């Protein structure tokens, strides 16, 4: 992937990722859950997105090091349903204050909590499915977990959920029976779940297959490689293997037979330069390492400083830096001490 393409996916992926979460919320609502209580649809849509409040870190700090942690982990999953349910009850009271004749009954608090829990849980589950990863155990443990199943922007999931939502909504507007108007949304959720689980299985089964293919070239690996999704083709994967002093990256195809795609790239880690060690001691360096899965470095001289580029092989194009790259300037005097 070229540098320009990588940056386009970064720009697309950040604002569009909430689209998938929002569609999950709307499809859950159209599957029949919107009838459970007043404000059910709003609760499901907000709940499916609420862990992403940590996106504020894009404006106040290092987002890559902070995201998918505190607001996505097990403690947050236990707290969010109650916070959201309380917020919806408060909002309902505000609406009734300005519109005393509001026709809908007050929301059922218990139902709001249950719907919030369902919606909130879908968010980290989907986030786990891509190679960005998820920190399920935060704030108790900041270990990253990776499903490597879905690309962050998967149009097949969008289309499936959007069709389910729209068709069910149109059927409900035509006063079809409940069984009739909920069926398309439920089918969409089932199809999206089946597709996601299939992609997860392909990744799990693909790791040992890719490892054997790599070792057949004479390269010995200490662990199974990452085999992760790429945009546009569910049967093509990206492979990254840790070689100790560098990374082997290639593609992988399942059809017509499982095989590596010719033309692998090798990324040296280049972590032996003393400027890299100094860069890792900085807040930017520590933040990068807390998030990066396959880090590598580029050191360039720039006057009286070393320009250290920190990048991750998951996203790095063959030429240039990825959207995830960070640059740290290290004074030469600090290295020469």
The pTM is what? 0.86
pLDDT score of 337: 61
Is the CA virtual torsion 155, 319, 237, 15 positive or negative? negative
pLDDT score of 10: 43
pLDDT score of 114: 97
pLDDT score of 12: 37
Residues of the chain predicted below pLDDT 50: 1-16
pLDDT score of 295: 94
Helix ranges (H only) for the chain are 3-30, 40-49, 57-60, 63-66, 74-98, 109-128, 155-173, 178-215, 274-280, 283-291, 332-336
Radius of gyration (Cα) for the chain, nearest Å? 23
Task: Give the start-to-end residue ranges of the domains of the chain.
Answer: 3-200, 220-268, 274-336
């Amino acid at each position: 992937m070229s540098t320009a393409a990588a940056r386009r996916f970064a720009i697309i992926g950040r604002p569009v990722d909430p689209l998938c979460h929002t569609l999950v919320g709307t499809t859950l609502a159209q599957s029949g859950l919107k009838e459970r209580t007043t404000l059910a649809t709003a609760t499901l849509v907000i709940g499916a997105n609420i862990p992403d409040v940590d996106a504020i870190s894009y404006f106040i700090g290092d987002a890559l090091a902070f995201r998918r942690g505190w607001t996505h982990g097990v403690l947050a999953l236990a707290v969010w349903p109650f916070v959201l349910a309380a917020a919806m009850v408060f909002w309902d009271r505000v609406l009734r204050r300005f519109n005393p004749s509001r026709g809908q009954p007050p929301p059922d608090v218990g139902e709001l909590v249950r719907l919030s829990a369902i919606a909130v849980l879908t968010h980290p589950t989907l986030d786990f499915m891509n190679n960005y990863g998820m920190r399920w155990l935060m704030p108790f443990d900041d270990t990253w977990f990776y499903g490597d199943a879905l690309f962050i922007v998967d149009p097949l999931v969008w289309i499936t959920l959007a069709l389910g939502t729209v068709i069910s909504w149109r059927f409900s507007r035509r006063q079809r029976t409940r069984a009739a108007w909920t069926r398309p949304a439920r089918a969409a959720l089932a199809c999206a779940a089946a597709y996601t689980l299939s992609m997860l299985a392909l990744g799990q089964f693909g790791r040992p297959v890719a490892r054997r293919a790599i070792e057949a070239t004479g390269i010995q690996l200490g662990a199974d490689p990452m085999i992760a999704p790429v945009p546009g083709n569910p049967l093509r994967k990206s492979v990254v293997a840790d070689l100790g002093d560098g990374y082997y990256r290639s593609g992988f195809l399942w059809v017509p037979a499982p095989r590596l795609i010719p033309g692998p790239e090798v990324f040296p880690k280049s972590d032996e330069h003393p400027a890299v060690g100094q860069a890792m001691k900085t807040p930017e360096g520590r933040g990068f390492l807390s998030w990066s899965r396959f880090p590598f470095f580029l050191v360039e001289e720039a006057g009286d400083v070393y320009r250290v580029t920190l990048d991750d092989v998951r996203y790095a194009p063959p030429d240039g830096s990825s959207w995830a790259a960070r640059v740290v300037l290290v004074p030469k005097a600090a290295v020469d001490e």
